[in-house]
Structure 1
Amino acid sequence: MRFTKETAITSFALFSLFFGAGNLIIPPYLGYTAGNEWFLTSLGFALSAVIIPILGIFAHARLQGTLLDFGKKVHPIFSLVFCIIVYLIAVTLPGPRTASVTYEIGLQPYFDITSLTSSSIYFGLVLLFVLNRSKIIDVLGKYLTPLLLLILATIIGVAIFAELPTPKGSTNETALFTGIIEGYQTFDAIGAIVIGAILVVSLNLKNQESPEINKKVLYRAGIFAGIGLSLIYFGLIYVGALFSTFVETSSRTDLLSILSYETLGKGGRILLSVLISLACFTTAIGIVAGTADFVKGLFKGSQAAYLITAFSASILGIIIGQTGVAYIIGIAVPALNFIYPLVIVLIILNIFPPKMVSPFIFRTVAIATFLFSIPDFLISLNLLTLEAADDHLPFINYGISWVIPTLIIFVLAKIIEPLIFKKDSSETEN
C-alpha cells in the first residue's frame, strides 16, 4: 500500500513540476488555430511535449544519478560544462519568468502591488519550500497538484459539456507538424532532465535502502504523469478548438482569459490567476531545488553549497524578474536554441541500452547535433537570415534544422563504428 501511495504522490509532484505557465497558455491557442484538426495536432503536441520529456524521466530512472551522467559518455568535461549551462539558463531565464508571469497575469490586474514586492514574496515562498528539501514531493503531490488539476478539470469539463458549435476549419498548414513544433517550444525536455534529478534525490532521501523500488516508482510516476499531461493537453486543445467558432483573438493569454470567463463566469478569471500562479510556483521550486542539488553534488554533498545556491538563485529570480515576461522570452529564445537540441539528443541516447550506444556514438552524435544547430542559433540572434539557410537545411524555418542531419550521422556512425574498432583491434593484435 505504501508503494502505491508513494507512486501516486510522486506522479502528482512530477506533473506539477512539468506544468508551467507555457504548458497552460500554448495548448488552447494551438487548438484555436487547429480547429477541426485538433486531434491530429494534439498527437503532434503530445509527441514533443509529453513523450520526449517523459523519456527524460525514464533515462533518469535508469541512470539513478545526476544530470552529469547524461553526458559523461561524451566526455567528463563536456558533461560538466553542459550541466553548468543548463542550470545557468534555468535560474536566469525560466525561473525569473515564472515570477514575471505570476505578477503580470495573476496579481497586477487585481492588486496594487509592485513587481519587486511580488517577486520578493514569491521567491521567499519558493526558498521556504526548497529549504525543506525532503518534503518537496509530499507537498507538491498531496496539496498543490490536486488543486491545480481540480481547476484545470473544471474549466475543461464545463467547456466540453456546454452546447458549443463544432470547431471551424484549421488555419495551420500541417496539423501534426504544427503540434510537434509547438510542443517543442514548451522546452520541457530541459525541464525533464532537471526535474528527474530532483526526483532521484528526493526518493533516495526517503528510501535510502531501496534503490530498485525508487527506480520502479520513478518509471511508474513517469507513465502516470505522462497520461495526466496528455489528457490535460488534449482537453485544453479541444476546448480551444471549440472556441474557434465564435472568438476572435490573436493573443494566447487573452484566449485563456476568455475561456476561463466563458466557462466559469466572473470567478473564472480569479481561478485562472490562481491556476497560473500555482503552475509557475511549482516550476520555480523545481528549478531552484534542482540547481541547488547539482551544486551540492559538485561540492561533495556540502549543505552550505546547497543553501548558498538556493539563496543566490532566489535573489537572481527577484532581480531578473523585474525585466518583464517579454524581455525574458526575447533573451531565452537564443539561449534555448543553443542548448535544447543537445538536451533532446542526450535524452534519447540515454534511453538506449548501454551496449547499443558506445562513447563513440555519443561523441559523434553530440558533435553533429551541436554543429547543425548553429544555424538555428544564429538566426535567433539575427546573425543569419532564414532565406540564406532555407535551401540548404530541412526544417530550418521551424527552428529544428539539426534533426535530419543528426539522424543521418547517427546511422552512419552505427555503420562505421564496427569497421573502425575492428581495424583498431586487428592492429593491436598484430
Structure 2
Amino acid sequence: MRFTKQTFITSFALFSLFFGAGNLILPPFLGYNGGSSWFLVLLGFAVSAVVIPILAIYGHARLQGTMIDFAHKVSPLFALIYCFIVYAISIALPAPRTASVAYEMAIQPYFEISSWVWSSVYFALVLLFALNRSKVMDLVGKYLTPAILAILLLVIGIGIFMDHEPLQTSVFENAFVNGILEGYQTFDAIGGVVVGGVVVISLGYTRGTAAQNRKILTNAGVIAGLGLLIIYGGLIYLGALQSGGLENTDRTTLLAFLSKTTLGNIGSSILAVLVSLACFTTAVGIVTGTADFVKGIFHNSQVAYKLTAILGAILGVVMGQLNVMSIIAVAVPALMFIYPVTIVLILLNTFPKRYASPLVFRGVILVIILFSSPDFWSSIGFGEQMLPIQKALPLGTDSLGWLLPSFIIFIVINVYTLSRKRS
C-alpha cells in the first residue's frame, strides 16, 4: 500500500469530516457503562462509527455523484424522499445537540446564562454565517481539529496511567450490539452520505480515473479510520476505567471530569472552548447543507435557501432547550428508522455493479423497511406489542432484526438474476 502526500491530506480531511463534538461525548460514557467489556463495546462502536462512514466515502468515490444518486437505483422518488428525511433529521436533532453540548460544557459551569438566551444567541450566529458564507469557517475547522486531537491525546495518555478502581461488570446484556447502536448517535453514516459527494468533488478526484479515485480514497480511508479508532478506543477505555470509582454521571459530565482530572482546570476550560467552536462549525455546516438541498429542489431559489436557514435556526433554538441526554433519547426513533436503510445503501454502493442491480436495491431496501419497523415502533412506546415480533426474528431483541432478512434477500435476488443470465 503506497501512501502519497495527497493521500495524507485526504485522510486528514476525512478525519475532520467525521470527528465532531458529538463524537467526543459518546465514547467515554459508552466505555463507562461497558466496564470490563469495553473492548467488545469498542468493536461494535467501530462498526457503525468508523467502518460504515468510511465506506460511505468509498461509495461516493465510485459513484462520482450526489446524495440523490446514492439511493437512485431504488427509484427517483425514493431517493428524493430519503434525502428529505435525512436532512429533516439532521436539522432537527444533531444541529440542536451541538448547542446543548456547548452549553453544558462551556457555558453552564462558568456563567449564569439560561439555555434560552444561549441557544438564541448561538443560532442567531449560525444563521448569520449560513446566510453570509465565508472562508472563516474553513479556517477555523482547519486548525480546530488538530487542536482538539492534540488535547485528547494528552487526556488519553495521562488518564491511562493514573490510579483507578477495578473495572465494573458491564451493564449491557450484549456489549457488542450496544456499541453498534450507540454508534448510530454519531450520525456519521448519515454524514458520509450527505457530504461524501461534495468532499470527493471538492478534493478534485473527478479528474482521475475511477480506479485511481478508489485507490486514493481507500488508502486515505484506512488512515482516517485508524485515527478515529485510536481516539475512540482511548476514550472508551478511559470511560471504562472510571466505572469502578465514579457514580451517577452522564455523557458531558464524564468528558468534563476526564479533562479536568488529567489536564486541570485550565486544560479543561481550553477543551470546553474548542469543543464549543467545533459544535458551532458543525451546526453551520448542517444548516447550510440542508438549505442548499432545499434550494436545489426549488430551482436554485435563494428565497428557499433563506427560509430553510431561518427555519433551521428556529428549530435549533426550540430543540436546544433539551439537554444532551434528552436529545439523544429523542433521536432514537429517528435513527431506528433511517439508519438501517442508510447502512444498507452504503454497503450496496460499495459492491460491484453485477451484485447491486436496481432489483437488488429495491428488494433489499423493501425488506429493510419492513423488518426494521418493529424497532421503530418499539422505540416510540409500543415495545410490548412489538416484543413478540422481535423475539421471532434473529437478533430482533437487539434491534438488528433487519440484518439477516436483508442478507437473505440479497443472496436470493442475486442467485435468481445470475441464473437467468446464464440460461
TM-score, normalisation: structure 2: 0.87
Matched, 1:118 2:118: yes
Give the aligned partner of residue 257 of structure 1: 256
Correspondence 1:121-140 to 2 at 5 A: 121-127=121-127, 129-130=129-130, 135=135, 138-139=138-139
Q: Which amino acid aligns with 1:355?
A: R
| Counterparts of 2:140 and 2:14, CA distance in 1 | 8
Q: Assess if the C-alpha contact under 8 Å between 1:45 and 1:181 holds in 2.
A: yes
Q: Aligned pairs, how many?
A: 419
| Counterparts of 2:383 and 2:294, CA distance in 1 | 36
In structure 2, relative to structure 1, the CA distance for the partners of 1:165 and 1:116 (3 Å cut) is: closer
Q: Assess if the C-alpha contact under 8 Å between 1:148 and 1:278 holds in 2.
A: no
Give the percent of matched residue pairs that are identical in Structure 1 and Structure 2.
54
Give the aligned partner of residue 374 of structure 1: 373
The CA deviation string for residues 370-403 of structure 1, in whole angstroms up to 9 with x for no partner, is: 1111111111121342533343122233222211
Correspondence 1:58-97 to 2 at 5 A: 58-97=58-97
In structure 2, relative to structure 1, the CA distance for the partners of 1:121 and 1:18 (3 Å cut) is: farther
Give the aligned partner of residue 335 of structure 1: 334
Q: Assess if the C-alpha contact under 8 Å between 1:148 and 1:275 holds in 2.
A: yes
- Give 1:252 deviation, angstroms: 3.0
Give the aligned partner of residue 427 of structure 1: none
The CA deviation string for residues 87-122 of structure 1, in whole angstroms up to 9 with x for no partner, is: 111111221221122223321221232333322332
Partner SS, residue 244 of structure 1: coil
Q: Which amino acid aligns with 2:373?
A: I
Correspondence 1:81-230 to 2 at 5 A: 81-127=81-127, 129-130=129-130, 135=135, 138-139=138-139, 141-164=141-164, 167-200=167-200, 202-203=202-203, 218-230=217-229
The CA deviation string for residues 140-167 of structure 1, in whole angstroms up to 9 with x for no partner, is: 5521111221221121111123344664
- Give 1:221 deviation, angstroms: 4.2
Give the aligned partner of residue 349 of structure 1: 348
| Counterparts of 1:44 and 1:113, CA distance in 2 | 38
In structure 2, relative to structure 1, the CA distance for the partners of 1:186 and 1:319 (3 Å cut) is: same
- Give 1:366 deviation, angstroms: 0.6
Partner SS, residue 95 of structure 2: helix
Q: Which amino acid aligns with 1:49?
A: A
Matched, 1:403 2:403: yes
Partner SS, residue 203 of structure 2: helix
The CA deviation string for residues 302-354 of structure 1, in whole angstroms up to 9 with x for no partner, is: 56654554444234323432355455334322222221111111011001122
- Give 1:416 deviation, angstroms: 2.2
Give the aligned partner of residue 53 of structure 1: 53
In structure 2, relative to structure 1, the CA distance for the partners of 1:107 and 1:217 (3 Å cut) is: farther
Q: Assess if the C-alpha contact under 8 Å between 2:123 and 2:317 holds in 1.
A: yes
Give the aligned partner of residue 428 of structure 1: none
Q: Assess if the C-alpha contact under 8 Å between 2:22 and 2:101 holds in 1.
A: no
| Counterparts of 1:188 and 1:345, CA distance in 2 | 14
In structure 2, relative to structure 1, the CA distance for the partners of 1:129 and 1:230 (3 Å cut) is: farther
Partner SS, residue 352 of structure 2: coil
Matched, 1:26 2:23: no
Decide which moves more: 319-328 or 181-190: 319-328
In structure 2, relative to structure 1, the CA distance for the partners of 1:314 and 1:12 (3 Å cut) is: farther
- Give 1:10 deviation, angstroms: 4.7
| Counterparts of 2:170 and 2:367, CA distance in 1 | 36
| Counterparts of 2:10 and 2:283, CA distance in 1 | 17
| Counterparts of 2:140 and 2:200, CA distance in 1 | 15
- Give 1:60 deviation, angstroms: 1.5
| Counterparts of 2:138 and 2:280, CA distance in 1 | 15
Q: Assess if the C-alpha contact under 8 Å between 1:36 and 1:167 holds in 2.
A: yes
Q: Assess if the C-alpha contact under 8 Å between 1:378 and 1:384 holds in 2.
A: yes
Decide which moves more: 112-121 or 403-412: 112-121
In structure 2, relative to structure 1, the CA distance for the partners of 1:121 and 1:151 (3 Å cut) is: farther
Q: Assess if the C-alpha contact under 8 Å between 2:7 and 2:220 holds in 1.
A: yes
- Give 1:54 deviation, angstroms: 0.9
| Counterparts of 2:34 and 2:214, CA distance in 1 | 38
Q: Which amino acid aligns with 1:314?
A: A
Partner SS, residue 265 of structure 1: helix
Q: Assess if the C-alpha contact under 8 Å between 1:198 and 1:289 holds in 2.
A: no
| Counterparts of 1:224 and 1:133, CA distance in 2 | 31
Give the aligned partner of residue 426 of structure 1: none
Q: Assess if the C-alpha contact under 8 Å between 1:36 and 1:169 holds in 2.
A: yes
Q: Assess if the C-alpha contact under 8 Å between 2:333 and 2:379 holds in 1.
A: yes
Q: Which amino acid aligns with 1:69?
A: D
In structure 2, relative to structure 1, the CA distance for the partners of 1:45 and 1:335 (3 Å cut) is: closer
Cα RMSD (Å): 3.1
| Counterparts of 1:387 and 1:209, CA distance in 2 | 52
User: Which stretches in structure 1 are left out of the alignment for 5+ residues?
Assistant: 424-430
| Counterparts of 1:211 and 1:290, CA distance in 2 | 28
| Counterparts of 1:172 and 1:352, CA distance in 2 | 33
In structure 2, relative to structure 1, the CA distance for the partners of 1:217 and 1:156 (3 Å cut) is: same
| Counterparts of 1:113 and 1:77, CA distance in 2 | 45
Q: Assess if the C-alpha contact under 8 Å between 2:164 and 2:245 holds in 1.
A: no
Q: Assess if the C-alpha contact under 8 Å between 2:40 and 2:175 holds in 1.
A: yes
TM-score, normalisation: structure 1: 0.85
In structure 2, relative to structure 1, the CA distance for the partners of 1:132 and 1:78 (3 Å cut) is: same
In structure 2, relative to structure 1, the CA distance for the partners of 1:329 and 1:239 (3 Å cut) is: closer
Matched, 1:281 2:280: yes
Give the aligned partner of residue 364 of structure 1: 363
Give the aligned partner of residue 242 of structure 1: 241
| Counterparts of 1:349 and 1:291, CA distance in 2 | 25
